[in-house]
A and B are shown apart, each in its own frame.
Chain A
């Protein structure tokens, strides 16, 4: 062993990245394919105590918060923008003109705000809805800060009474009342939950009857050729992250978290188990990611 881990120079940029690698390296490697026991869960390729996973995921996102958009662009070669565009268009959010009550949106694990602001913009443009409210919720305060910064740079939704930025754990959402939301969206966030079923149950609690659960997440690829292509890309990505951004561990975690996430049908049955009805899914780019939805009856 080479002794205690170092903290990188405060003068250097990228010290946050070193902090992540530092933390991830503190773990000892465990044998693979250990099932989820009540006390341990998986974090990337490592098996870690359940209580630790939240913190570690937090550190991954703290370190990449400022470069989250670039990282998404690199990982999906820019296609994530198309996916999110389709996600919002399919949802068609917005209070209709004959409606009396504004809609209540909640975007979970959406710290960077791209879906949240996209929904509000769409509602504004297409349905002339300027009164619906949005709660942007994320477990990581750094990501929320990025979201607030983006709102400020956009020139809208910053210090807007309609939009609330809150640090909340998606599995509990303590500050959100039950039966209070019309639409619950989660985009590329639910795979980071320690307990996905708990997240789905909380979504059920938080939604009003008639509310919609709407989730965009990586999933199982149908097409064998594209699957092979994706696997090669996933092998190369952590090294590229390491060489260019000096962050091997974050990309390795992200690639493995995608692999661990259940496939379309399994996730559909998990959503049904939480109590949602009319659960369905749509594959995007032949299964690279999938939109799942469910209605609380």
Chain B
């Protein structure tokens, strides 16, 4: 009993501070030596000591320059291999599915708030150009002889090929002259289309590029200006005619940003017209616009199945002049 009590009440020997510290140090050293997070984070000195021990440090036989270059090359190749697959054409940036989703979300938000910045629309278009849609367009093109020719020739729309000055000399009823006049009126040119980046299959990328480059031809064909209402109308036309997902999104969401009067005009007249015309017309993707520049524009419209809508610019101008008249102070006629 007394020994028990003696044991229990035994006073602890004061451990020297330096001995206490060495216990901690040896613990840390053990932790640092083996594979552990601590070693990974803080074990530089231990690593160097181990390397020195093994004779790997300051080894005169090592070619440090070669080792450095190899390290840099391996890191660079890792950086370059950040894409899921190799690019399949010049300018292709393949994206992972989660990156494509991110592109869709970001460009969607940007396009809603800033549709005037063409880059946002471009990115949204490529993010939403899903494989079923592009396959569908490809089928449409393959089933038509002109479409097949377009796929074979892969025409590129550019002023050096279109020659705007030659178009200005064509007779006034031709499509080429209509296009030239429309371009001058809206102050744009045909070589203003961004290249395709995020669509991996080269044929699909060409088809989407063709769609993008022919957008201005559609504008000129239906004589729509490039103001937001005109753009929404043409987008509705493309959505109905070709089934472009981005055009459908634009037709549904874009009008909500407009003023009440613009929205009314769109919902009453222009969007119904665009949808009906688009559905009933022949697919525009199969039209070889470059060959039809000298064709009579009304013949072309009849063949495609398009009837012109009310001239948007005139409608707006009339309304503007009417409002101006109503706002002017009343002055009785003398």
Contact = CB atoms under 8 A, between A and B. Distances in A.
A22 B90 CA distance: 10
B22 to A, nearest CB: 27
A10 B90 contact: no
A235 B79 contact: yes
A89 to B, nearest CB: 27
A170 B93 CA distance: 33
Contact of A263 (B44, B68, B91, B102): B68
Contacts of A255: 79
A225 B40 contact: yes
Contacts of A1: 89-90
Nearest to B209: A2
Interface string B198-222: 0000100110010000000000000
B78 interface: yes
A231 B75 contact: yes
A13 interface: yes
B118 interface: yes
B36 interface: no
B73 interface: yes
Contacts of A3: 154, 156
B303 to A, nearest CB: 28
The residue among B73, B93, B188 with the most chain A CB atoms within 10 A of its own CB is: B93
Interface stretch (B189-197, B234-242, B307-315, B319-327): B189-197
- The main secondary structure of chain B at its interface with chain A is helix
B41 interface: yes
A22 B68 CA distance: 33
B99 interface: yes
Nearest to B192: A9
Given A2-B154, A223-B41, A243-B103, A238 B192 contact: no
Contact of B79 (A234, A242, A243, A262): A234
Contacts of A5: 90-91, 195
Given A2-B206, A9-B188, A243 B123 contact: yes
B128 to A, nearest CB: 14
A102 to B, nearest CB: 42
Nearest to B83: A239
A225 B38 CA distance: 11
8 cross-chain pairs, A with B, having the tightest CB-CB distances, nearest first: A9-B192, A12-B118, A3-B156, A235-B82, A33-B73, A14-B119, A243-B103, A25-B91
Interface of B: 40-41, 44, 68-69, 72-73, 75-80, 82, 89-91, 93, 95, 99, 102-103, 106-107, 117-119, 122-123, 154, 156, 158, 188-189, 191-197, 202, 205-206, 209
Given A2-B202, A3-B154, A239-B82, 11 more contacts: A1-B89, A2-B90, A2-B206, A3-B156, A13-B117, A18-B194, A21-B91, A223-B44, A239-B95, A242-B197, A246-B122
28 contacts: A1-B90, A2-B90, A2-B91, A2-B202, A2-B205, A4-B156, A6-B193, A8-B119, A8-B193, A8-B194, A9-B118, A9-B188, A9-B194, A10-B192, A11-B118, A13-B119, A14-B117, A25-B90, A25-B91, A32-B76, A223-B41, A223-B44, A239-B82, A242-B197, A243-B106, A248-B93, A259-B72, A260-B76
